[in-house]
Amino acid sequence: MAATEWIDRWDDGCQSDERRNELVLPYLAGKIRDRNPRTVLDIGCGSGYISRILSRTFADWVIDWILLDDKPDCVRYAVRGVELPARAREIVTDFREPLSSAIGADLAFVVFSLLEFPFTKQVAENLADCVTAGGDLVIVLPDVLEDLMAAQYQEINLLEQYVKGISCLQKQDKFTGTPYNFFAPRVEEVIAMLTCPAFSLESLSFYGRAGKRILILDFVRRPAPLVTEHVR
């Protein structure tokens, strides 16, 4: 199999995926229209499908796209696809590790990528380093219980694992058949870690379509706290 063949298959899957096309893309397009971001960051970009469609939708807008993933093949693939590759920047980094420098996007989104690594304090700090003060962060998660049920591990108590926060399972990717570690981040933990102190939660919405539900968390980056010196 050619090195990027699995990315082609992933991308094919995205093209017919109702959750991305009918829920996520309209939501993000609305966000861009409302907020007019100059720099948009796609965290865990995969094939870059989401950024590609958005960059075509907003081809006349001046937007710099930043594609971030820990897999160099994904980032290269994603950058080639955006409407104006010259306006795109590649970042290959493992998002579990500290970022080498702040990124400063006006809008950052994480579409289904938080399923592939645990949501730690470091990840929350990285998210804060990615977004400018007043900028937006959109996190898209599936209904994790539905996904856990789809993993079909009847022999273990999935709900108990989820509640205890040890929900790393081996799951087969539905588009490519490739096994991968699946984490189910607890929504309340994601909110608690981000809202104190870097972000405020703007909205939390559930969307459903054809029996599939997703959750969209929409945050706004707070300004950095003012450092005041006490004069005695």
Q: What does the DSSP assignment read for 33-102?
A: HHH--SEEEEET-TT-HHHHHHHHHTTTS--EEEEEES-HHHHHHHHHHSS-GGGEEEEE--TTSPPSS-
Task: Assess 46 for contact with ligand SAM (CB under 6 A).
Answer: yes
In this chain, which stretch among 82-90, 114-122, 145-153, 192-200 interacts with ligand SAM, using CB under 6 A? Answer: 114-122
| 201-220 residues near ligand SAM, rule: CB under 6 A | none
DSSP 3-state assignment of 147? helix
Task: Assess 95 for contact with ligand SAM (CB under 6 A).
Answer: yes
| 61-80 residues near ligand SAM, rule: CB under 6 A | 69-71, 74
Q: Which of 67, 79, 111, 148 binds ligand SAM (CB under 6 A)?
A: 111
Question: C-beta of 94: minimal distance to ligand SAM in Å?
Answer: 4
Question: C-beta of 228: minimal distance to ligand SAM in Å?
Answer: 36
Evaluate the omega torsion of the peptide bond into residue 26 and state whether it is cis, within 30 degrees of 0.
Answer: no
Task: Assess 113 for contact with ligand SAM (CB under 6 A).
Answer: yes
Please state, in angstroms and rounded to a whole number, the distance separating the CA atoms of residues 214 and 217: 10
Tally of residues, the chain: 232
Residue 158 structure tokens: 């999935």
Task: Assess 44 for contact with ligand SAM (CB under 6 A).
Answer: yes
In this chain, which stretch among 30-38, 81-89, 94-102, 127-135 interacts with ligand SAM, using CB under 6 A? Answer: 94-102
Question: C-beta of 76: minimal distance to ligand SAM in Å?
Answer: 12
Nearest to 128 by CA among 186, 41, 188: 41
Please state, in angstroms and rounded to a whole number, the distance separating the CA atoms of residues 48 and 146: 25
> Which residues lie near ligand SAM (CB under 6 A)?
14, 44-46, 49-50, 69-71, 74, 94-96, 111-113, 115-117
